[in-house]
Amino acid sequence: MPKVKISATVDPARLKRAKELTGVRSVSEVLDRGLAALIEDELERIHADGYSREPQADETVTAVSSDVWADLPWDEE
């Protein structure tokens, strides 16, 4: 994949933390992974917004609250 060189100013503490969490040493890879995650998050948001606006099978699907998962009976076996 072709790459483009950029200049960016970032929060050094946030960059350090991203490197620690991912184990990535290259700033370019940290930024690539961050952009990929941002794109995926935005596409999911757009997708969910579309389902909220357009009823599916005579129902409107809304965004799921994280509170829903707290009450599920999880099998811990």
For position 49, what pLDDT does the model report? 79
Q: What is the pLDDT of residues 11-68, one digit of tens each?
A: 999 999 999 999 999 999 999 999 999 999 999 888 887 777 666 665 555 666 666 5
Q: Which residues of 32-53 are buried (b: 16+ CB within 10 A; e: fewer)?
A: eeeeeeeeeeeeeeeeeeeeee
Residue 1 to residue 46: CA distance in whole angstroms: 26
What integer pLDDT is reported at residue 54 of this predicted model?
Answer: 66
Query: pLDDT at position 50, please?
Result: 75
Query: Which pTM value belongs to this model?
Result: 0.60
pLDDT at residue 75 in the model:
62
Contact indicator for 37, 30 with CB cutoff of 8 Å: no
* Nearest-angstrom CA–CA distance, 35 and 48: 20
Distance CA 36, CA 38 (A): 5
Domain residues of the chain, as ranges?
Answer: 12-70
